[in-house]
Amino acid sequence: MQQSDGHNTASWSPASWRRHPIRQAPSYEDGAALAAVEERLHRYPPLVFGGEARRLKERLAAASRGEAFVLQGGPCAESFGEFTGDIIRDTFRVLLQMAAILTFSAKVPVVKIGRMAGQYAKPRSSDVEKRDGVELPCYRGDNVNSPEFTAEARRPDPARMEMGYFQAAGVLNLLRAYSRGGFANLHEVHRWNLDYVRNSPQGERYEELASQVEETLAFMKACGLEDNAPQYDEVEFYTSHEALLLPYEQALTRVDESTGQHYGLSAHFLWIGDRTRQPEGAHVEFLRGVANPIGIKVGPTTTIEDLQKLLEILNPQDEAGRITLISRMGHGKVRELLPPLLEAVRRTGRTVTWICDPMHGNTTTSSNKYKTRAFEHVLDEIMGFLDVFGQAGVIPGGIHLEMTGSDVTECTGGPRCLTDADLPTRYTTFCDPRLNAEQSLEIAFQLSDRLKR
């Protein structure tokens, strides 16, 4: 059967995206080297398991009903150079802190999803970058090329996909260890506070909350409730990235033994970016055939018609938890542009989980030429998103942030009132500016004040 948008429903295969127009794809010079890497990746063990992706789908379905809240966060782009245990641990612990803050106020489980263990491919607004009269191909993420401004570094190299696979495996291994090996134990709630945050107002407010959690646990134990259930000891932590580099995603697609369905097993959750969500395009074609929970970025240029088409193509059976719509409008536009889209989706009667990405519509250039975002704008977009949902009587499903546990100076404002002049101090992102630990905690506290039950 041929759908009007060009997707042939009968003939999806992990490779069928190759027959569709594609955007943001690198041009590899050496086809044989590319094919060899794809062939090897196809033989390697998958990084995640289909059953985990199915469980995440259930969690996201719960979030669509207001029975859970999604916290998706991590760097804009992971980097091969920043592949250290400390960086992974610190981002993970800030996500745990934020989850504790949100659980305590919203009184629902927080679904924790890292933009981690595979976030190595980036869409760019221009194919080229010019510096001092020299023009080179743009940096497309470490899975594709390297950020240094030389012709050699910017040449897409298929061998990098294999490095990306092994690094993702390393990150995932540590995340699984932290999730299950005692670090995430609720009795350790005080230890998640980072040393450099401990004495800030956010660190102190967190300490108070951690003490309340401890008292609650002690109280429950005194009442005879055993405190050794797995819920105390372990957390579910899921991984995600933008499914942009399709040769990589195809190579890691497998048939799930128990269901016979295909899953993209490079991560639990895969999303389609704002630049590659054309209903007839290759990225939509690829994702329609894998059974993972998937995200769709919804931006200021998303039309009602396209959104309805995307829901039809990507979730024809209207399965709950399958689609997460990630709104990224910009703080000045969210209150105006989101309501008609929200209403249109509601009219279709379809189940979706709406979450707010307050980062990507709020990127600006500072007076000293840094790509930055103002903390106030990020916070205002979240509040605007909640306002829109409140007015429509629809339950908001969660948030999606670019953040890190490192003490970076990439977004202005926030707890330390960072100014443009502070940005060069520790500006280490390879792509978009991230909230640092204090700014992330402050977002969680402000949000928790709104979500309090």
Q: Could you tell me where the DSSP H helices lie in 44-158?
A: 50-64, 85-106, 151-154
Q: Is 401 in the site for ligand PEP (CB under 6 A)?
A: no
Q: Is 398 in the site for ligand PEP (CB under 6 A)?
A: no
Count, in order, helices (H) and strands (E) of the chain. 14, 14
- Three-class DSSP category at 296: strand
Q: Is 326 in the site for Mn ion (CB under 5 A)?
A: no
The secondary structure of residue 200, as a DSSP letter, is S
Q: Minimum CB separation from Mn ion for residue 139, in Å? A: 13
Nearest to 427 by CA among 379, 366, 378: 366
Smaller CB separation from Mn ion, 76 or 116: 76
Q: Which of 37, 48, 71, 76 binds Mn ion (CB under 5 A)?
A: 76
Smaller CB separation from ligand PEP, 74 or 264: 74
Q: Is 399 in the site for ligand PEP (CB under 6 A)?
A: no
**String marking each residue 162-181 x if it binds Mn ion according to CB under 5 A:** --------------------
Task: Give a three-class secondary structure readout of 126-159.
Answer: CCEEEECCEEEECCCCCCCCCCCCCHHHHCCCCH
Beta bridge pairs of residue 337: none
Beta bridge pairs of residue 131: 134
- Three-class DSSP category at 110: strand
Residue 98's CB is within 10 A of a number of other CB atoms, namely 27
**Residue carrying structure tokens 């091969």:** 80
Nearest to 298 by CA among 323, 259, 329: 329
- Three-class DSSP category at 405: coil
Q: Which of 123, 247, 358, 413 binds ligand PEP (CB under 6 A)?
A: 123
Q: Minimum CB separation from ligand PEP for residue 24, in Å? A: 10
Q: With CB under 6 A, what is the number of residues at the site for ligand PEP?
A: 10
The one segment of 200-208, 269-277, 336-344, 413-421 that binds ligand PEP by CB under 6 A: 269-277
* Rounded Cα distance, 288 and 346, in Å: 21
Q: Is 432 in the site for Mn ion (CB under 5 A)?
A: yes
Structure tokens at 403: 């953040």
Element (H, E) at 72: strand 69-74
The one segment of 33-41, 44-52, 272-280, 434-442 that binds ligand PEP by CB under 6 A: 272-280
Structure tokens at 235: 């957390």
The entry of ligand PEP, Mn ion, none that residue 273 binds, CB within 5 to 8 Å by partner kind: ligand PEP
Smaller CB separation from ligand PEP, 254 or 328: 328
Q: Is 295 in the site for ligand PEP (CB under 6 A)?
A: no
Q: Minimum CB separation from Mn ion for residue 360, in Å? A: 6
The one segment of 89-97, 270-278, 343-351, 371-379 that binds ligand PEP by CB under 6 A: 270-278
Q: Is 410 in the site for ligand PEP (CB under 6 A)?
A: no
With a CB cutoff of 8 Å and minimum separation 6, the contacts of 397 are: 60, 63, 64, 69, 70, 324, 353, 354, 355
Q: Kindly tell me the burial class for residue 91, based on how many C-beta atoms sit within 10 Å of its own C-beta (0-12, 13-18, 19 or more).
A: buried
**String marking each residue 310-349 x if it binds ligand PEP according to CB under 6 A:** ------------------x---------------------
The entry of Mn ion, ligand PEP, none that residue 251 binds, CB within 5 to 8 Å by partner kind: none
Q: Minimum CB separation from ligand PEP for residue 164, in Å? A: 16
Cβ pair 353, 70 in contact under 8 A: yes
Q: Is 358 in the site for ligand PEP (CB under 6 A)?
A: no
Smaller CB separation from ligand PEP, 370 or 445: 370
* Rounded Cα distance, 198 and 278, in Å: 45
Q: Is 76 in the site for ligand PEP (CB under 6 A)?
A: yes
Q: Is 140 in the site for ligand PEP (CB under 6 A)?
A: no
Q: Is 274 in the site for ligand PEP (CB under 6 A)?
A: yes
Q: Is 273 in the site for ligand PEP (CB under 6 A)?
A: yes
CA end-to-end span of the chain: 49
CB-nearest residue to ligand PEP: 273
The site for ligand PEP (CB under 6 A) is made up of 76, 123, 242, 273-275, 297, 328, 360, 432
The site for Mn ion (CB under 5 A) is made up of 76, 432
